[in-house]
Structure 1
Amino acid sequence: MSLLFPDHRNLTFDPNTANKYLELLWGQRRAKHGPSAAVGWQERSCRFEPWQVLCVQSYGQGRHYWEVTISSHSVVLGVTYGEIPRHKVRGCKFNIGLDGGSWGLQVREDSYLARHKGQEEKIQLRLYTELGICLDYDHGLLSFYGLGERVQLIHSFHAVFTEPLFPVFWLCEGRTVTLCHRDCGEPEGELGL
C-alpha cells in the first residue's frame, strides 16, 4: 500500500461512544466484545445501543487511509457522519449503512456485504483479517482493501460527502478489532489475537 501510506492516519476509539459490551484496550486502540466489559459501565447519552463504537478522529478534505486487524468475520467497518443514531433499529444488529449518512462493509465468513441507505451488495471474496480503508473525501470515494501478499480491492463507494466522517465499527460476540498505528513499533506479542 505504498501509494496510500503517506496518507496513513492513526486512530483511537472513543470510549464515550462504546457499547457497554465493548472493552477498549491498549490505549483505546483495540476493541474487544465480551461480557466483562460491562463491569463498572457508566450510562452516557452518546453511547451506542448496538455493539458499535466510533473513533475520536473525523476526516474531511483530502485523502485519509487507515488499517485494522480483525480477529475473525462478523465485524462491520465503515464511516459515518457524527449524528448516526445511537439506538437499535428494529430487526437490525447494527445501524452502519442503513441510512444516507453512513457507509459500511460487513465481513462475513465467506463474503462481504457493502451497505448504504439500507441497500446491500454482496462481494464474493475470501476472508481478510487485515484491511485497509481509504477515504478520498474530495473525490467522494471510500474504498476497502484486503491486505495480504497482494492488495485486493474489496469494494468502493462513490458519494458526495457533506460532513466530516468518523470511522465506525460493529463487533459480534468474541470479536476483536485492532487499529494499526504506523508511527511506533508494535510491542512483541501485543497484537496476538
Structure 2
Amino acid sequence: MMKDCLQFLIEPAKKLKIRLKESRKRVRHEKKEPLVESQLFIMELARELNKICQRSNVLSHIWTSEDIWPAAVCRDFITEWAAVLEERVQPRIILSDHHYEKPEKKDWKGHLLCMLEAGGECDMGPHKRTIMDWIWWIKSRPQPTVWPGEPVLMMLDDLEFQWKRGRLPNMLSAMELVMLAVLNADSPVKEDVTKQWLVRKQRSQRTDAVRYIPHGVWNWICDAAEDVTLDSDSANADLIISSDEKRMRCGSERRDVPQCQRRFDGWWCAAGHEGYTSGRHYWEVEVGERDWRLGVAKASAVRQGFRSLNTDTGYLSLRLERGTDLKALTVPATPLSQSSVPRKVGVYLDYEQGQLSFYDVEKRSHLYTFNDKFNETLYPVFGTVEMVKDLVIRPPNVRQPCLCPGTCLWN
C-alpha cells in the first residue's frame, strides 16, 4: 500500500519535470529566432523617439527588447504611420542624405521568392524611409527636444503601469501617443493629444481599437455623461418601464397602449427621450445576461415591424444573443470577442467626429466603434427580452471604481 502511495506521488512529479524541460527548450528556441527587419526598425524608431521626447523613457521597454511586437503588427504600424506622415508633414521635410539602399532589380520570380522569405519586408523600404526622414528632420531642428505635456506623461505612465500588470498586450499604444505628441509639438493650435489618440485609434480599428482606456481619456469620456431616460411612448407594449424611466424588462402580459409613429411594435425596444444633433454624449447601462441591444437610432429609422435593426435600416447598435453571441449589427454582422461578455456597457457618442463607441465599463476596455457621418438626430435605443433582470440606465454621476491599487494618482 505504501509503495502504491509513493508511486502515486512520484508520477505527477515526473510529468511536471518533463513539462519543465519542454518549456525550457521552447524558451531557448524562441530566443534564438531572429527578429525580422520591421521589428528591428520599430526598436530603432523607439530609440530615436526616446532621444527626441523628454521623459519618454517608457519607450525603453521597446528598444531594449522587453516588449517585441509580432512582425505583422510591426508592418501594419509602419505602413499606417508612413501614410499619416505623408499626409501631415511630408511637404516640409527636407530629405536627408541618408537613404536606404535601393534593392537590385529582380525578375518576378526573384521578387516573389524575396517576398515569401521575408514576409513582405521587401515592400517596407519606402514606408520606413518616410518615417526616418521625418525623424531626421525633427532632430535637425535647432531645438529638437520635445516636451510632451503633463497629460501625455501621465497617460504614458498609466499605459506602462497597466502593461507591466498584463492588462495591455504591448506598448504599441504608448508608441503611437509619443508620435502624436511629436507631431503636435509645434502646432499653432494646441489640441489635446490624448483625445486625438483615442479618436484616431477608434477610426482606424473599429474592434478592440485599444483594449485598455487610460485614466485621463476615460475621465474625459465620462465627463460627457448624460442623464438619459426612457421614452415610455416609444416602448414596445410588452415592456414594463419603471416610474423613473431608468429601468425596463419584459412583462408577462401585453399592455394596452396607444399606437404612435415612434413606438416599437415589433422588437422589444425603447428609445431615449432626448435626441442628439451635436456634441459629445455618454451613458452607461447595466445589461442582462442573455439578450440585449444598445446603441442609437437615426430619426429616419423605422420602428414598426421586425425589420433587422442594423446599419442599413438606420440603427448603430450592439446585440447579445443566447448569452454568448456578441456582435455589432453591421451588414453583415461583425462578431465581437466572446471571451468576456460585458455586464455594464458604456456608450459614447461624438457627433462631430462621427463616432459611436462601446466600452466594457468594469474592465475599462473598448468593444467596438461605428464610424459614420451624422446628419440627422440620433436617439439612444435599448432592447431586452429578459423578464427577471432589469436593463438599467445608470445615473450620470456614478462612476466605476478606479482600477488602481490604493489611491489613484490620475483622478
Scaled by the length of structure 1, the TM-score of the pair is: 0.83
- From 352, 362, 370, the equivalent of 1:138 is 352
- From 66, 75, 85, the equivalent of 2:292 is 75
What is the DSSP-based 3-state SS (H/G/I as helix, E as strand, rest coil) of the residue aligned with 1:157? strand
Q: Map 1:34-183 onto structure 2 (within 5 A).
A: 34-36=251-253, 38-49=254-265, 50-89=267-306, 95-108=308-321, 109-116=323-330, 118-125=331-338, 126-148=340-362, 150-174=363-387, 176-183=390-397
- Which residue does the alignment assign to 1:189? none
Task: Please give the per-residue CA displacement for 1:98-131, whole angstroms capped at 9, x wherever unaligned.
Answer: 5252111002322411013x32000123111101
Q: Separation in 2 of the partners of 1:77 and 1:152? A: 17
Identity of aligned residues (%): 24
Deviation at residue 168 of structure 1 after TM alignment: 0.7
Q: Are the equivalent residues in 2 in contact too, given 1:73–1:127 (CA < 8 A)?
A: no
Which residue identity is paired with 1:65?
Y
Deviation at residue 46 of structure 1 after TM alignment: 2.7
Task: Give ranges in structure 2 of 5+ residues lacking alignment.
Answer: 1-217, 399-411
Deviation at residue 7 of structure 1 after TM alignment: 0.4
What is the DSSP-based 3-state SS (H/G/I as helix, E as strand, rest coil) of the residue aligned with 1:3? helix
Q: Are the equivalent residues in 1 in contact too, given 2:301–2:313 (CA < 8 A)?
A: no
Q: Are the equivalent residues in 2 in contact too, given 1:98–1:119 (CA < 8 A)?
A: no
Task: Give ranges in structure 1 of 5+ residues lacking alignment.
Answer: 185-193
Q: Separation in 2 of the partners of 1:67 and 1:104? A: 14
* CA shift in 2, pair 1:159/1:45, >3 Å: closer
Structure number with larger C-alpha Rg: 2
- Superposition RMSD in Å: 1.9
Which residue identity is paired with 1:19?
N
Q: Separation in 2 of the partners of 1:40 and 1:101? A: 28
Which structure's residues are more often helix, by fraction?
2
Which residue identity is paired with 1:34?
G
- Which residue does the alignment assign to 1:16? 233
Q: Separation in 2 of the partners of 1:124 and 1:97? A: 19
What is the DSSP-based 3-state SS (H/G/I as helix, E as strand, rest coil) of the residue aligned with 2:230? coil
Which structure's residues are more often strand, by fraction?
1
* CA shift in 2, pair 1:84/1:152, >3 Å: same
Which residue identity is paired with 1:101?
G
Which residue identity is paired with 2:343?
T
Deviation at residue 97 of structure 1 after TM alignment: 1.4
What is the DSSP-based 3-state SS (H/G/I as helix, E as strand, rest coil) of the residue aligned with 1:35? coil
Which residue identity is paired with 1:180?
R
Aligned residues: 177
Q: Separation in 2 of the partners of 1:72 and 1:136? A: 28
Comparing 129-138 with 67-76, which one deviates more in the overlay?
A: 67-76
Which residue identity is paired with 2:378?
L
Q: Are the equivalent residues in 2 in contact too, given 1:78–1:96 (CA < 8 A)?
A: no
Deviation at residue 26 of structure 1 after TM alignment: 4.0
Deviation at residue 177 of structure 1 after TM alignment: 1.3
Q: Separation in 2 of the partners of 1:119 and 1:68? A: 25
Q: Separation in 2 of the partners of 1:145 and 1:171? A: 18
What is the DSSP-based 3-state SS (H/G/I as helix, E as strand, rest coil) of the residue aligned with 2:347? strand
Q: Separation in 2 of the partners of 1:80 and 1:45? A: 14
* CA shift in 2, pair 1:173/1:110, >3 Å: closer
Q: Are the equivalent residues in 2 in contact too, given 1:18–1:48 (CA < 8 A)?
A: yes
* CA shift in 2, pair 1:30/1:132, >3 Å: same
Q: Are the equivalent residues in 1 in contact too, given 2:302–2:313 (CA < 8 A)?
A: no
Comparing 10-19 with 174-183, which one deviates more in the overlay?
A: 174-183
Q: Separation in 1 of the partners of 2:286 and 2:269? A: 16
Scaled by the length of structure 2, the TM-score of the pair is: 0.41
Q: Are the equivalent residues in 2 in contact too, given 1:10–1:181 (CA < 8 A)?
A: yes
Which residue identity is paired with 1:103?
L
Which residue identity is paired with 2:367?
I
